[in-house]
Amino acid sequence: MAERRVTVGWSEGLHARPASIFVRAATAAGIPVTIAKSGGNPVNAASMLAVLGLGAEGGEEIVLSSDSEGADAALDRLAKLVEEGLEELPETV
């Protein structure tokens, strides 16, 4: 299973707009991805309600994971998005 531990770069955390950006990016990845707070239970990264339910704050560590083919590239892109607090998914890493 591929996994990335990243710090949430959005100052407001994964709430409202940043959560929406992240969920769209996770959906666009085309593979199942989970997200969890460090030490917490993983949830579907493509679910807005699940991501909001995490309550991940800016500066907190989260864990992204997937066991699908192509997971490393997808997780690298999602990790960059979260860590840098970007407004959209980067085309390349």
Quote the pLDDT of residue 48.
Answer: 97
Q: Which fold has domain 2-84?
A: Histidine-containing Protein; Chain: A; (3.30.1340)
Domain locations in the chain?
Answer: 2-84
What is the pLDDT averaged over residues 4-30?
A: 95
Q: According to DSSP H, which parts of 5-70 are helical?
A: 16-28, 48-54
Reported confidence tier of residue 91, pLDDT bands at 50, 70, 90? low
Q: Closest Cα to residue 29, out of 39, 13, 80, 61?
A: 80
Q: Each residue of 55-87: pLDDT tens digit?
A: 999 999 999 999 999 999 999 999 999 999 988
What is the pLDDT averaged over residues 3-23?
A: 95
pLDDT of 19 higher than 70: yes
pLDDT of 89 higher than 70: no
As a whole number of angstroms, the distance between CA 65 and CA 43 comes to 10
Active site residues: 15
The verdict on pTM exceeding 0.75 is: yes
